[in-house]
Structure 1
Amino acid sequence: MNTVNGIISEIQSHEGISLVKVKSHDATFSSIVLDTPETSGYLKIGTSVKIIFKETEVIISTDLHSNISIQNQLLCRIESVKKGVLLSEINLIFEQQIIKSIITSKACDQLDLKKNDNVMALIKTNEVSLSAHD
């Protein structure tokens, strides 16, 4: 599981659902939360949270300027590529932190991913969870 620290910077709520923006260094993550500031104590601007997402939910793009609907777009550098028969594990460096992505080895070959390549890591908003710091 990938975990990144951040601070809540914006909250929009409607009918029991919140779209939460979380600032982490120079990036802003978006997350959909099935709570509101009225129903969950940690949903406050300025609160430190953990941003959590699965390795299998990290999409990799070699197009650094793609015009797509995915809000969470992180410019990263590939630290390592570990190719398996079916799946490959890509370690990405984002803000001096490792983010892992697991993609098919076929996709890894098609993208010709190599150490030190710059790539865009993409994570759909509904795949990002938030947790209050302990």
Structure 2
Amino acid sequence: MNQLPGQIVTIDSHGSIALVDAIVAGQRFTAMLIGAGEEVAAWEPGMDVTLLFKEVEVSLAKNLMGQISLRNRIACTVTSIEHGRLMSRVMMDFQGYRIASVITTRSAQALAIAPGVSVEALIKANEMTVVPAP
């Protein structure tokens, strides 16, 4: 599970859905929380939080141009890659934080992913969750 420490900057909610924006290392991240309850109603801008997202929910792109609906685009540098027969685990650095992605080995080979390569990690807002910092 990927974990990034952040701070809430905005919360927009309607009914049981909340969009929470948080800043991590100067970059804005958005999480869409479905079924947001009373706990989220008590959150405020400035609150320290941890952003959580699964390795399998992180897609990778190189040379991505134009607009895209994904809210979370993270410029990273690949630090290591473990190739399996079908799946590969890619470790990346984002501003000193470690992010992992699990993608197909075919995709890793097609993108020529290797240590030192620049990629964008892409995470849909609904695949990211937010919890209060410990």
Q: For this pair of structures, how many residues does the alignment match?
A: 132
- Comparing 7-16 with 58-67, greater Cα deviation is found at 58-67
For 1:80 and 1:64, locate their aligned partners in 2 and report how far apart those are by CA, in whole Å: 21
CA shift at 1:16, angstroms?
A: 2.3
The equivalent of 1:60 in structure 2 is 60
Amino acid of the residue matched to residue 63 of structure 2? D
TM-score normalised by the chain length of structure 2: 0.93
The equivalent of 1:80 in structure 2 is 80
Task: Give unmatched runs, 5+ long, in structure 1.
Answer: none
For 1:130 and 1:23, locate their aligned partners in 2 and report how far apart those are by CA, in whole Å: 12
CA shift at 1:132, angstroms?
A: 0.7
For 2:66 and 2:101, locate their aligned partners in 1 and report how far apart those are by CA, in whole Å: 19
- Comparing 2-11 with 26-35, greater Cα deviation is found at 26-35
1:35 aligned onto 2:21 = no
Identity, % of aligned pairs? 30
Q: Specify the SS of the correspondent of 1:40.
A: helix
Q: How does 1:1-134 map to 2 (within 5 A)?
A: 1-33=1-33, 34-35=35-36, 39-40=38-39, 43-134=43-134
For 1:107 and 1:29, locate their aligned partners in 2 and report how far apart those are by CA, in whole Å: 25
Given that 1:6 and 1:24 are in contact with CA atoms closer than 8 Å, whether structure 2 keeps it comes out as yes
CA shift at 1:66, angstroms?
A: 4.1
Task: Give unmatched runs, 5+ long, in structure 2.
Answer: none
Q: Deviation per CA, 1:50-101: give whole Å up to 9, x if none.
A: 0000000000000243421101000000001111101101001001011000
Amino acid of the residue matched to residue 35 of structure 1? A
**Which runs of 4 or more aligned residues in structure 1 lie more than 3 Å from their structure 2 counterparts after TM superposition?**
none
Q: Deviation per CA, 1:7-32: give whole Å up to 9, x if none.
A: 00001111121111010012111011
For 1:123 and 1:11, locate their aligned partners in 2 and report how far apart those are by CA, in whole Å: 19
Q: Specify the SS of the correspondent of 2:39.
A: coil
